[in-house]
Amino acid sequence: MLTNKVFIRKNKRGNVLKIIREHYLRTDLWCGSCCCIICPHEKHDLILAENPPSKSSIFKEPHYLMVDTNVILDQIDVFEEDVISNVIIVQTVIDEVKHRSSAIYKRLRDILTNPARKFYTFVNEHHRDTYIEREQKESSNDRNDRAIRKAALWYQNHLNKSTKESKKPKITIILLTDDAENRRKAQEEDKLVSCSVQTYVRSLSEHPYLQDKLCIKEYASESDKHPVYPPHLTVVQMHEGIKSGKLYQGSFVASRENFLEGSVNVECFEKFILVQGREALNRAIDGDTVCVELLPENEWTCPSEIVLEDNENDPIVETIEEDENEKILKESASKKQEKQPTGKIVGIIKRKWRQYCGILKPNEIKGTSRHIFIPAERKIPRVRIETRQAEKLYSKRIIVAIDQWPRHSRYPQGHFVRALGPLGDKETENEVLLIEHDVPHSKFSQEVLNCLPSLPWIISEQDYKERVDLRKIAICSVDPPGCTDIDDALHSRLLPNGNIEVGVHIADVSHFIRPGTAIDKEAASRATTVYLVDKRIDMVPELLSSNLCSLRGNVERFAFSCIWELDKNANIIATKFHKSVIKSKAALTYEEAQLIIDDKNKNDDIAKSLRRLNELAKILKRRRTENGALVLASPEIRFHIDSETNDPIEVAVKQLRETNSMVEEFMLLANVSVAEKIEKEFPEHAMLRRHPIPPQTNFEPLIKAVRHQGFDIDTSSGKHLAISLDNIVKDDNPYFNTMLRILATRCMLQAVYFISGTLTRSEFFHYGLAAPIYTHFTSPIRRYADIIVHRLLAACIGADSTYADLLDKTKNSLLCNNLNYRNRMAQYAGRASVALNTHLFFRNRSEEVEGYVLFVRKNALQILVPKYGLEGTIYLSGKNINAKFIYNEENQSQQCENIVFHSFDPVIVRLSLDSTNVQHEKLVFELVKPFIEGFSIQSNDNVMEIDETPQSPTMKRKPMEEAVAVGSGKKAGNKKKKK
């Protein structure tokens, strides 16, 4: 059964090595075809159909397809379609795909593992008859091509023999390859049937839409067209350049505001390397790993501070002359004070292309198949695609993949992947949102659902024995209204010695989600529950999240309890952890809880308990703030959704009560206590959460902005920052302080999960909370990190067994990376959802509201509208603007005649939705007050908001001195430390 072949490989790792590895060739690898009578197949090996129906107009006879590596790499979208089946993928191809692109490999693997698709893997590299050795002077690509042909030939002969003996219809092997030379060799030397993918897909006459998915790569020379971009360096040149220090490698980040600007994050530079202009950007797309060359210092510039959008209407005819935008960019950037290292991109090391959501731009030329695709993500350039179903797609959100970006093409070229749904449709838009933020949102697979406990779920005697019985204690939960996934509950009671026992009870999700099961893997991959305005994408199936794990009132539930003994001053005397059975006495909302606390007449257990907790929480909060915990702000709003249409009908800023803070404090306390415990028990393997101290450079915009207002801010430490923020108050502008906090929030870094063994103790610090150690323990229903922490804690107290991966540092670090990524994406998705609903809200209305100038840009003002938590831009120059603004760089202001705009100045703007372009609705900000001739618009008298601002008339002249009374925005804890 074994044949031994030793082959020799040369490996470059500093020096040339001769590597000898064994390579066993087998005779027990079968062909996987149902029509085969030669191979002794097992049932589950039979994948390829006995008589595959032909859908092709060229190849009428039954056939199997075989493909080469490039076909899979380029056309994976086509192969993901169910139409294509009965395909043989040889090991050579799989290995190469794996080597070249792990993303495509994963997709290919999904296809291969789905038996319904009838894709068979043939391990040709280990088959005695199909293994070939690389010949002298043969490149490895040629060798692989030959290996594929050899396998195809083997199959053809094998099947011929089989079908002849069994008198079944003959089956042809069709080798699909886009390499003409390979095709020629297959046809001439091996007498195989071979054609290009295009030819084959076009011949599938019943499935014309497949053609749109074809990735068309031009292998032909590009010389006949005028190149728009300079050529990229070869890999070797880049390597040498980087080695010699002339070139730098880094990841490219496109600017969100200016499509002709981007930056490259290079490790050896403290600052980003700025890249400006189309030629300098040289076809880099956000996320790519690129190779940059630094310009000489006299050509260095600084970020242009202007907002540019690609609005060209000319998709087909390319303008070769330097366009208007670029001129503006050059001018604006040329004379700046602080120059930044500037460079140009000379090559792409690794593309990070994915599939993009967006819309098709209507084409003025009817009937053409060439179109421009506008991605939803503004960082991504437009993509040129070919489709025959444009008419149908105009009104839809579609997904497109980029194939290549040749030098002569202004835009990258791509192909249509699929349509999501009609434009403006809520479902479609949500889908876009989820896809763009890479949120896994498919339904839970049957495998996952099989892991759920069967209903009715009964607590057994054994469970009672293993857990502490807390059913008699007055435990209650406090949550936002409408919350169904209740993962925490609280209690407190007086102890005989005068101390207070406080308990935090967290849903025992790890009881239901056992390590290594399908449900565990799924939850680990989802990492978090994602909250959209009108939708919740659960991390675990609903049965758990809203029922079995949710600590609902008056039902017995499993909990993981953290019990403290606190003295009157909220000092911890003792801490213990155990698993328990609880029966929550009431599931309250923040409002209800507040009412109970405030109602002096209520004196039952729960009321007493809540009051005690509230008192302690105040002490805890004060102590925390004294230690330097930051109170930050971000504008947060709530939509009231029409229950029938699901459209937002009202917007309100989220209300905050004492009880919010009360719950938060105890959750923080629990998290810290648990973090200490697991870190002590597993110093190398605890999953913790840290919030890195932001570098001082991050605070620069904040310091700058504050200085113009005549204040100084100390950002040297968290504590100083907190004190400074408390002190900088403008009596005439109460929202000023909130805006500062909003700005301060933007200076922060993201808090991240990590494994304790990977960092030093001093790096554990949580900056926002001023806690030396922190973790997430309190929301296992909606966060996977908490599940891991639960398991660790359970292992600490001996309540549960450990398992291999729990203490695997590398695996858990990878898990952390995923959790961090998903969390960030979930946060973005949530915000995008709010933005989406704001759009919907303004669909048929316009409103005049107070706003504040957040930043003054060279050609625009950025406005924050606290009422809607919205941020928008008012352009100060352009075609239809007559007013002349003078930009003062010194104190960051814009002046038009006698009206001056500074940061933090209050304004009144009108918000409306520009629906002229059905595909691309935009929220438009227009200045109402102060009134500038030829720029501002007339106020509508019938809009209420103006009347609510009593001082508004005086604002026209001296906006600086005027104050506007505005309700304060949310002053909640920083987003990251949401309980």
Partner 1 sequence: MAQELLSLQGLRIDGRRQNELRQIQCRLGVLERCDGSAYMLHGNTKVIASISGPKHPTKNSANKNRGGDEFIFNVRVKFATFSKNGERQKVVKNSKKLGEIEINLKNIFKSVILVEKYEKSQLDLNIEILQTDGSEICTVVNAATLALIDAGICMKEYICACTASLTNDGVALLDVSHLEEICGGPTLTIAALPRTGDHEQSVAYVELSQKFYLKDLNKIFDCALMGCEKIRGILDEAIRSNAFELVNSELTNN
Closer by beta carbon to partner 1, 23 or else 839: 23
Closer by beta carbon to partner 1, 124 or else 545: 124
Among 27, 51, 57, 113, binds partner 1 (CB under 8 A): 113
Q: Considering only 20-28, 33-41, 241-249, 465-473, which stretch makes contact with partner 1 by CB under 8 A?
A: 20-28
Does 41 sit near partner 1 (CB under 8 A)? no
The three-class DSSP label of residue 431 is: helix
Q: Which one, of 697, 730, 720, lies nearest residue 767 by Cα? A: 720
| 287, two tokens | 């996320």
CB atoms within 10 A of CB 314: 11
Does 457 sit near partner 1 (CB under 8 A)? no
Indicate the pairing of strand 342-350 with strand 273-276.
parallel
Half-sphere exposure of residue 954, counting CA atoms within 13 Å on the CB side?
Answer: 9
| 58, two tokens | 């060229």
User: Which residues, other chains included, contact 567 with Cβ-Cβ below 8 Å and sequence gap of 6+?
Assistant: 498, 499, 500, 573
Does 450 sit near partner 1 (CB under 8 A)? no
Does 25 sit near partner 1 (CB under 8 A)? yes
User: Which residues, other chains included, contact 564 with Cβ-Cβ below 8 Å and sequence gap of 6+?
Assistant: 501, 502, 503, 572, 573, 574, 575, 669, 673
CB atoms within 10 A of CB 557: 23
Least distance between partner 1 and beta carbon 12 (Å): 13
Q: Considering only 19-27, 333-341, 708-716, 948-956, which stretch makes contact with partner 1 by CB under 8 A?
A: 19-27
Does 236 sit near partner 1 (CB under 8 A)? no
User: Which residues, other chains included, contact 193 with Cβ-Cβ below 8 Å and sequence gap of 6+?
Assistant: 59, 63, 172, 173, 174, 175, 187
Does 6 sit near partner 1 (CB under 8 A)? yes
Closer by beta carbon to partner 1, 2 or else 652: 2
Footprint of partner 1 on 800-859 (CB under 8 A): 803-804
Which positions from 51 to 90 touch partner 1 by CB under 8 A, shown as an x/- string?
Answer: ----------------------------------------
Contact 475, 505 (CB under 8 A): yes
Does 20 sit near partner 1 (CB under 8 A)? yes
Among 12, 18, 191, 243, binds partner 1 (CB under 8 A): 18
Does 350 sit near partner 1 (CB under 8 A)? no
CB atoms within 10 A of CB 576: 14
Closer by beta carbon to partner 1, 11 or else 319: 11
Does 24 sit near partner 1 (CB under 8 A)? yes
Closer by beta carbon to partner 1, 128 or else 168: 128
Q: Is the dihedral of CA 754, 756, 760, 763 positive or negative?
A: positive
Contact 918, 927 (CB under 8 A): no
Q: How far apart are CA 246 and CA 825, in angstroms?
A: 35
Footprint of partner 1 on 651-690 (CB under 8 A): none
Q: Considering only 105-113, 165-173, 725-733, 852-860, which stretch makes contact with partner 1 by CB under 8 A?
A: 105-113
Which positions from 120 to 159 touch partner 1 by CB under 8 A, shown as an x/- string?
Answer: -x-x-xx---------------------------------
Q: Which one, of 331, 305, 337, 328, lies nearest residue 856 by Cα? A: 305
Closer by beta carbon to partner 1, 23 or else 975: 23
Least distance between partner 1 and beta carbon 626 (Å): 45
Q: How many residues bind partner 1 (CB under 8 A)?
A: 23
| Range 250-260 burial, b when 16+ CB lie within 10 A, else e | bbbbbbebbbb
Q: What are phi and psi of 895, to 5 degrees?
A: -125, 140
Among 34, 49, 112, 693, binds partner 1 (CB under 8 A): 112
Amino acid, res. 552? R
Q: How far apart are CA 55 and CA 616, in angstroms?
A: 73
Indicate the pairing of strand 468-470 with strand 488-494.
unpaired
Least distance between partner 1 and beta carbon 24 (Å): 4
Least distance between partner 1 and beta carbon 741 (Å): 44
Closer by beta carbon to partner 1, 20 or else 495: 20
Contact 916, 923 (CB under 8 A): no
Least distance between partner 1 and beta carbon 847 (Å): 55
Does 578 sit near partner 1 (CB under 8 A)? no
Closer by beta carbon to partner 1, 22 or else 933: 22
Least distance between partner 1 and beta carbon 1 (Å): 8
Q: What are phi and psi of 650, to 5 degrees?
A: -155, 150
Which positions from 738 to 767 touch partner 1 by CB under 8 A, shown as an x/- string?
Answer: ------------------------------
Does 21 sit near partner 1 (CB under 8 A)? yes
Does 23 sit near partner 1 (CB under 8 A)? yes
| 542, two tokens | 């609903």
Does 22 sit near partner 1 (CB under 8 A)? yes
Footprint of partner 1 on 776-805 (CB under 8 A): 803-804
Q: Which one, of 32, 34, 35, 31, lies nearest residue 170 by Cα? A: 35
The three-class DSSP label of residue 947 is: helix
Least distance between partner 1 and beta carbon 518 (Å): 14
Least distance between partner 1 and beta carbon 88 (Å): 13
Q: Considering only 106-114, 205-213, 739-747, 917-925, which stretch makes contact with partner 1 by CB under 8 A?
A: 106-114
Q: Which one, of 73, 70, 54, lies nearest residue 62 by Cα? A: 54
Closer by beta carbon to partner 1, 109 or else 824: 109
User: Which residues, other chains included, contact 670 with Cβ-Cβ below 8 Å and sequence gap of 6+?
Assistant: 504, 506, 562, 777, 778
User: Which residues, other chains included, contact 907 with Cβ-Cβ below 8 Å and sequence gap of 6+?
Assistant: 850, 851, 852, 853, 861, 863, 901, 927, 928, 929, 930, 959
Least distance between partner 1 and beta carbon 134 (Å): 17
Q: Considering only 118-126, 265-273, 663-671, 877-885, which stretch makes contact with partner 1 by CB under 8 A?
A: 118-126
Closer by beta carbon to partner 1, 8 or else 235: 8
Closer by beta carbon to partner 1, 111 or else 913: 111
Does 14 sit near partner 1 (CB under 8 A)? no
Least distance between partner 1 and beta carbon 40 (Å): 16
Closer by beta carbon to partner 1, 102 or else 696: 102
Q: Considering only 11-19, 378-386, 397-405, 626-634, which stretch makes contact with partner 1 by CB under 8 A?
A: 11-19
Does 518 sit near partner 1 (CB under 8 A)? no
CA distances for 590 relative to 41, 656, 657, 776, angstroms: 65, 9, 7, 22
Q: How far apart are CA 92 and CA 74, in angstroms?
A: 16
Q: How far apart are CA 713 and CA 704, in angstroms?
A: 10
Burial of 694 (0-12, 13-18, 19+ CB in 10 A): middle
Closer by beta carbon to partner 1, 123 or else 723: 123
Please give the full DSSP string across 23-80, using - where no structure is assigned. Answer: EEEES-----BTT-SSS---GGG--B-SSPPP--SS--S-EEEEE-HHHHHHHHHHHT
Q: Considering only 1-9, 156-164, 369-377, 848-856, which stretch makes contact with partner 1 by CB under 8 A?
A: 1-9
Q: Which one, of 483, 369, 436, 282, lies nearest residue 831 by Cα? A: 436
Closer by beta carbon to partner 1, 10 or else 167: 10
Q: Considering only 23-31, 209-217, 359-367, 588-596, which stretch makes contact with partner 1 by CB under 8 A?
A: 23-31
Interacting residues toward partner 1 by CB under 8 A = 2, 4, 6, 17-26, 29, 109, 112-113, 121, 123, 125-126, 803-804
